[in-house]
Structure 1
Amino acid sequence: MDLAPLLRKLRAVQAVAAAGSTVDAAQGLHASQSSVVRAVRDAEAALGAALFERSSRGMVPTAVGRLVAQRVARALELIAQADAHATRAPRSPWPALAWQRSRLASGIGHRHVRTFLALVDGGSESRASQALGVSQSAVHQTLAQAEHLAGEPLFYRARAGLRLNDAGQALLKAVKLMLAELAHAADDIASAQGTMRGRAVIGTLPFSTGLFVPRALDRVLASHPDLEVTVVDGTYATLLHQLRYAEIDVIVGALRDPPPADDVRQETLFDDRLAVVARRGHPLAGRAPLRLRDLARRAWVLPMPGTPAQAAFDQAFAAEGLAAPQERLRVNSTMMMQALLYDSDRVALMSPRHLEREIAAGLLTVLPVVVQHAPRLIGMTTRADYLPPPGMRVLLDSLRAAAREVGTAGQPAPALARGDWYKQSA
């Protein structure tokens, strides 16, 4: 169910929920009562659910109505926050209608949203008109309306086409977050009607998700077959951008210290301790406990710069008063790193938890090397104001439960329990 085309009608629904009657909502929206009544009825018909209980004393939202009103209020507030010309003082006596301080939030419609996104994707009015199947003059007129609501241009205009300016970039982020809220509203409605469904997108970071993410996904999908889950991987910078623009719902992997931005929230699931890993039969595998200085001249496969794994690598060598090796080979893929280890005498600093099966199968081994570093924190990163729909709440809880099974904070990794090859720095 796509609620975005109902944006104008949902604005009326949210106003009625806040004001308690169509009369007061109409006054707050500066619209006729009949148009508000019609918008509410149309929304109820489209959603297939009653949104209000009507009586002589007014209109009270049903359970579904409260869910819808909450999501719509959040969606419109996101647009208001992106409006640099919004007034500071609310224009409505009802706090839930605070978005009315923004002309952009009060007036934006689905046509504006579709046209704006088509212009962003196409980079010109002609390509946007082709994508939307409307005339170029219609695109131009809708863009002019959107910029009037925003109170300023949204694009730089040049012979090469259109490019977002700062105001346009802020609106793009707000629009994507708004559309995510409306999509979550559809999931809320389905759950209230007895069906757990929806789509969740998980971003995973290399070298840190181990077995707990697949375990969590298997359990959720087995118990909730109508949920759709997509897993994507990438660099932290790429996934963080996607998270902030609502293209993914959660990042699972090594957390950053300090957090990268005020608009994200990190939740620690467990501590992850790294060890020196090599292929089965490596020349150092049968040696007595080693120090990192014994491996300083060895060929390494290094993590990517700026990652928690690289920080741990640098800390470990610094703890022994050594300069970290400056290897030319850096890898951001677990499979590629494992392949490099299988076929050479290279070594790498990796998580035994992440390689549990490979170590158990005898493909890789943990070398008896003392490694001192502050353990990486493995967890989940979401948007700070994220209100997950029911299906996503189930998935997040499943990730927490699976993480508890592979190790809680402060406990050694299973592969290291047999020896004192790891030391946590103070």
Structure 2
Amino acid sequence: EGVESLNSDKVSQTVVRIGALPTVEVEVVPRAVAMFAAGPLACRVHIESGPSGHLLAMLRDGKLDFSVGRLASPDVMKGLVFEHLYSEQLTFAVRPSHPLAKRAPLSVRDIEPYPVLLPPANAIIRPIVDSLFITAGVGKIKFEIETVSNSFARAYALENDAIWTISRSVVARDLEIGQLVALAVDTSATHGPVGITMRSDEQMSVTTAAMLDAVRRAATYVASRF
């Protein structure tokens, strides 16, 4: 009984620290944490959200055990390794009453007259968005709103004729229930890898390994819905 008590105390003091980019903080990470919490190695979990640069800096400093999200550019991956889980593309999400919601097909240039919610300049997906706009010949957007906050972007898109540029998994549930609508714009060129970023010299604890396994299983489920 004394040994069991000591082991219980040790588990209660253990913390798994995860970095979650906006791409995965709505679907993959919540599902993974629930799976982990139901397992025998469940312990305290800390979720840190924010832009890629912030999370990678914390990962390098040992303040995170791993990070989940889109693959960062090669120039910032020194000393880190990436495990690919699935690929996804961006989407333009709007409220059902948006003037473009029922028009098809649409070109990227059709979004020009409307406010557009965009990831900030330091976000992983921003260069992908910019490349899509340049390739399509998009000129000046009527009004740009930069944010990493999914809750703000969702609320703003639901109350205004704004177009939310976001990874599809973030709005998958909203699209399923009809709260938001994906514009009929071809965004296949925005496909990108989503996965786990870790330190290359990391020695994983059994609890961290268990959480990693939960992330893999959650990602498999989420990817099957695309």
Do these two structures clear the TM 0.5 threshold for a shared fold by scoring above it? yes
The letter for the 2-side match of 1:262 is: K
* Counterpart among 276, 296, 311 of residue 112 in structure 2: 296
Does the alignment pair 1:227 with 2:43? Answer: yes
Note closer, same or farther for the CA distance 1:396–1:324 as it changes in structure 2 (3 Å cut): farther
Offset, 1:208: 3.5
Mapped to 2, the partners of 1:226 and 1:317 lie a distance apart of 44
Mapped to 1, the partners of 2:188 and 2:79 lie a distance apart of 32
Question: What pairs with 1:61-210 in structure 2 (closer than 5 Å)?
Answer: 198-210=14-26
Are the counterparts in 1 of residues 95 and 161 from structure 2 also a CA contact under 8 Å? yes
Note closer, same or farther for the CA distance 1:324–1:247 as it changes in structure 2 (3 Å cut): farther
The equivalent of 1:357 in structure 2 is 173
Offset, 1:257: 2.3
Offset, 1:252: 1.0
* Counterpart among 12, 17, 28 of residue 212 in structure 1: 28
Does the alignment pair 1:307 with 2:123? Answer: yes
Does the alignment pair 1:336 with 2:152? Answer: yes
Does the alignment pair 1:273 with 2:115? Answer: no
Offset, 1:372: 4.5
Give deviations 1:126-174, integer Å, cap 9, x for gaps. xxxxxxxxxxxxxxxxxxxxxxxxxxxxxxxxxxxxxxxxxxxxxxxxx
Mapped to 2, the partners of 1:190 and 1:324 lie a distance apart of 60
Mapped to 1, the partners of 2:183 and 2:100 lie a distance apart of 7
When the two structures are superposed, what TM-score results if normalisation uses the length of structure 2?
Answer: 0.87
* Counterpart among 112, 133, 137 of residue 321 in structure 1: 137
Offset, 1:392: 0.5
Are the counterparts in 1 of residues 17 and 45 from structure 2 also a CA contact under 8 Å? yes
Are the counterparts in 2 of residues 318 and 324 from structure 1 also a CA contact under 8 Å? no
The equivalent of 1:377 in structure 2 is 193
1:284 alignment partner, SS class: coil
The equivalent of 1:387 in structure 2 is 203
Q: More relative contact order in 1 or in 2 (CA 8 Å, sep 6+)?
A: 2
Aligned residues: 221
Mapped to 1, the partners of 2:77 and 2:141 lie a distance apart of 31
Larger strand proportion of the pair: 2
Larger helix proportion of the pair: 1
When the two structures are superposed, what TM-score results if normalisation uses the length of structure 1?
Answer: 0.48
Give the fraction of aligned pairs with identical amino acids, expressed as a percent.
27
The letter for the 2-side match of 1:351 is: S
Give deviations 1:335-357, integer Å, cap 9, x for gaps. 01101101100002112221122
Mapped to 2, the partners of 1:307 and 1:376 lie a distance apart of 14
Are the counterparts in 2 of residues 317 and 324 from structure 1 also a CA contact under 8 Å? no
Are the counterparts in 1 of residues 83 and 196 from structure 2 also a CA contact under 8 Å? yes
Question: What pairs with 1:55-66 in structure 2 (closer than 5 Å)?
Answer: none
The letter for the 2-side match of 1:348 is: W
1:394 alignment partner, SS class: helix
* Counterpart among 40, 58, 61 of residue 245 in structure 1: 61
Comparing 324-333 and 370-379, the one that deviates more: 324-333
2:146 alignment partner, SS class: coil
Comparing 301-310 and 207-216, the one that deviates more: 207-216
1:353 alignment partner, SS class: helix
Instruction: Structure 2 unaligned segments of length 5 or more: list them.
Output: none
The letter for the 1-side match of 2:154 is: Q
Offset, 1:306: 2.9
Mapped to 1, the partners of 2:78 and 2:21 lie a distance apart of 20
The letter for the 2-side match of 1:350 is: I
Mapped to 2, the partners of 1:245 and 1:308 lie a distance apart of 20
Offset, 1:295: 1.4
Instruction: Structure 1 unaligned segments of length 5 or more: list them.
Output: 1-47, 49-188, 415-426
The letter for the 2-side match of 1:256 is: A
Offset, 1:329: 1.6
Offset, 1:207: 3.3
Mapped to 2, the partners of 1:259 and 1:268 lie a distance apart of 18
Are the counterparts in 1 of residues 86 and 194 from structure 2 also a CA contact under 8 Å? yes
